[in-house]
Chains A and B, each alone.
Chain A
Amino acid sequence: EVVLTQSPATLSLSPGERATLSCRASQSISSYLAWYQQKPGQALRLLIYDASNRATGIPARFTGSGSGTDFTLTISSLEPEDFAVYYCQQRSNFGGGTKVEIK
Chain B
Amino acid sequence: QVQLVESGGGVVQPGRSLRLSCAASGFIFSSYGMHWVRQAPGKGLEWVAVLWYDGTNKYYADSVKGRFTISRDNSKNTLYLQMNSLRAEDTAVYYCVRDAARTPPSYYFDYWGQGTLVTVSS
Contact = CB atoms under 8 A, between A and B. Distances in A.
15 contacts: A34-B109, A43-B111, A43-B113, A46-B100, A46-B108, A49-B108, A50-B108, A89-B107, A90-B107, A91-B107, A92-B47, A92-B107, A93-B47, A94-B46, A95-B44
Please tell me the size bucket of the interface on B: 10 to 19
Please tell me the size bucket of the interface on A: 20 to 34
A43 B112 contact: yes
Contacts of B47: 91-94
Contacts of B110: 46, 55-56
A54 B65 CA distance: 33
Given A87-B44, A89-B45, A34 B95 contact: no
Interface in B59-98: 61, 95
Contacts of A95: 44
Contacts of A55: 110
Contacts of A43: 111-114
Interface of A: 34, 36, 43-46, 49-50, 55-56, 87, 89-97
Top 6 nearest A-B pairs (CB, nearest first) are: A92-B47, A91-B107, A44-B112, A94-B45, A43-B112, A49-B108
A50 B110 CA distance: 13
A55 B2 CA distance: 15
Which residue among B108, B110, B114 has the maximum number of chain A CB atoms within 10 Å of its CB? B108
B106 to A, nearest CB: 8
A49 B100 CA distance: 10
Contacts of A87: 44-45
A50 B111 CA distance: 16
A96 B39 CA distance: 11
Contacts of A45: 112
Given A92-B47, A94-B45, A94-B47, A44 B108 contact: no
Which residue among B46, B112, B113 has the maximum number of chain A CB atoms within 10 Å of its CB? B112
Contact of A92 (B44, B61, B95, B114): B61
